Amino acid sequence: MKARQKRLVLVGLAIVGVGAAAALALTALQSNISYFFSPSQVMAKEAPADHVFRLGGLVSKGTVQRAEDGLTVTFDVTDMAQTVKVSYTGILPDLFKEGQGAVARGRLGDDGVFYAEEVLAKHDEEYMPPEVADTLKTAHAKGMTGASDAARVAEQTTGAAAPGAVAQ
């Protein structure tokens, strides 16, 4: 082969490789991304019924309940306008607390309960996942809530932060 042909072969191989990688990346992405929805969006049936998504908001005070035996725990997640019940089996992250922000990843059951596979909690008084903060701000702006809580929490997003925690 001449040098030019060789170079063409190499370039051709590189293009085929890049194309294959890009195709693989995009196809695989479709099945691995999870969208974020607020409780209001879930109640408005905007969230997919058959696909994993993330639900975020504040954990309502006084709603965290452990089952008598086993590790199932239920709690309400709210954006101050709407509330969705979440059920999770396993160990919650250290920083999971009533009255604070949390994001759960899982599926919506036919009974309207969100079955979480993973719970991500904020980690200290000053950090809030950006999506949750937006959710609270939106609900607040629409005047759906009189709670000054939402605004207060939303304002805290710019504070200093440290690690959050994940439970799987």
Partner 1 sequence: MIPELGHFALIIALGLALVQAVIPLWGSFNGRRPWMEMARPLAAGQLTFLVLAFACLLQAFLTDDFSVLYVAEQSNTLLPPIYKVSALWGGHEGSLLLWVLMLGIWGAAVAAFSRNLPLPMISRVISVQGMVAIGFLLFTLLTSNPFERIFPVPQEGRDLNPLLQDPGLAIHPPMLYMGYVGFSVAFAFAIAALLGGKLDAAWARWSRPWTTVAWIFLTIGISLGSWWAYYELGWGGWWFWDPVENASFMPWLAGTALIHSLAVTEKRGAFKSWTVLLAISAFSLSLLGTFLVRSGVLTSVHAFATDPSRGTFILAFLVIVIGGSLSLYAWRAPSVSGGGRFDLVSRESFLLVNNLLLAALALLVLFGTLAPLIYEAAGWGKISVGFPWFNTMFVAISPFLVLAMGLGPSTRWKHDEPARLARLLWIPFALSLGVLALCSTGLIFPGNLSVGLGLGLSTWLVLTQLVALRERLKNKGGLKALVGDLRNRSRSFYGMWLAHIGVAVFIVGATLVSSYGSETDLRMSPGAVHEVAGYRFQFNGAQPHDGPNYRAQRGEFVIYKGERQITVLHPEKRSYLSGGMPMTEAGIDPGFLRDLYVSLGEPVGDKGDWAVRIYYKPYVRWIWLAGILMALGGLLAVSDGRYRTARKSVQVPAGGGLARA
> Looking at 8, 14, 44, 141, which residue binds partner 1 (CB under 8 A)?
14
Determine the Cα–Cα distance for residues 99 and 126; give it in Å rounded to an integer: 13
Q: Which region, judged by CB under 8 A, interacts with partner 1, from 7-15, 77-85, 136-144, 147-155?
A: 7-15
Of 79-87, 108-116, 143-151, 155-163, the window that binds partner 1 (rule: CB under 8 A) is 155-163
Nearest distance, CB of residue 7 and partner 1, angstroms: 10
Q: Exposure of 136 by Cβ count < 10 A (0-12 exposed, 13-18 middle, 19+ buried)?
A: buried
Under rule CB under 8 A, residue 123 binds partner 1: yes
The smaller minimum CB distance to partner 1, of residues 68 and 111, is found at 68
Instruction: State the Cα angle at 146 between 164 and 142, rounded to 5°.
Output: 85
Residue type, 140: H
Determine contact, residues 73/92, Cβ cutoff 8 Å: yes
Print the SS3 string covering 144-168: CCCCHHHHHHHHHHHCCCCCCEEEC
Q: How far is the CB of 19 from partner 1 (least distance, A)?
A: 11
Residue of the chain from 8, 16, 33, 141 that contacts partner 1 (CB under 8 A)? 33
Residue 75, CA distances (Å) to 72, 122, 147, 161 in order: 10, 16, 20, 25
- Residues found near partner 1 in the complex (CB under 8 A): 1, 3, 6, 9-10, 14, 17-18, 21, 24-25, 28-29, 32-36, 54, 66, 68-71, 89-92, 94-95, 103, 120, 123-124, 127, 129-131, 158, 160-168
